[in-house]
């Protein structure tokens, strides 16, 4: 598992790259709708992860990291829709999609570990 500061920076970089992606989307109805959706979910990954890092208890962390996981997974969906609809598909979009999947896996594993530790009384 990566140190917290590395994941904070990684999720922030991800959010900044989502912003760059949205700027590349076409200025039509589909581009605006997809852009609004992915902008919200993609940037909230970083914001919610920072919140999870400030959790007051294990239960609070689990609750917050679950939100991060959900937002990362939702962002993965929006990226798939952007690519599969032909709205935008380039190396940058593909790389962002891969990063979204990796972040989802990291946050899922983090939540799972926290739940296991809580069950063991750690």
Sorted by where each starts, the structural domains of the chain and their CATH numbers stand as: 4-119 (1.20.1440.60)
CB count, 10 Å around CB of 70? 17
CB 87 within 8 A of CB 38: no
Contacts with 29 (C-beta within 8 Å, 6 or more apart), sequence order: none
Distance between CA 21 and CA 38 in Å, rounded? 9
What pLDDT, on the 0 to 100 scale, is given for residue 121?
81
Distance between CA 11 and CA 43 in Å, rounded? 8
Q: What is the tens place of the pLDDT at every residue in 6-38?
A: 999 999 999 999 999 999 999 999 999 999 999
- Is the pLDDT at 1 greater than 70, yes or no? no
Distance between CA 85 and CA 31 in Å, rounded? 11
Mean pLDDT of the chain: 95
**Closest to 21 measured CA to CA, from 53, 47, 43:** 43
What pLDDT, on the 0 to 100 scale, is given for residue 3?
67
**pLDDT band, residue 115 (cuts 50/70/90):** very high
- Residue 116's φ and ψ, nearest 5 degrees, are -65, -45
């Amino acid at each position: 598992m990566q140190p917290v500061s590395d994941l904070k920076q990684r999720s922030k970089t991800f959010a900044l790259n989502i912003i760059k992606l949205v700027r590349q989307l076409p200025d039509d109805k589909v581009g605006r709708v997809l852009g609004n959706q992915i902008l919200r979910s993609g940037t909230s990954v970083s914001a919610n992860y920072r919140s999870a890092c400030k959790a007051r208890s294990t239960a609070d962390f689990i609750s917050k990291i679950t939100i991060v996981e959900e937002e990362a997974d939702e962002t993965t969906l929006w990226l798939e829709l952007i690519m599969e609809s032909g709205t935008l598909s380039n190396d940058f979009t593909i790389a962002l999609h891969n990063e979204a999947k990796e972040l989802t896996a990291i946050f899922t594993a983090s939540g799972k570990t926290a739940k296991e530790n809580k069950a063991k009384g750690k």
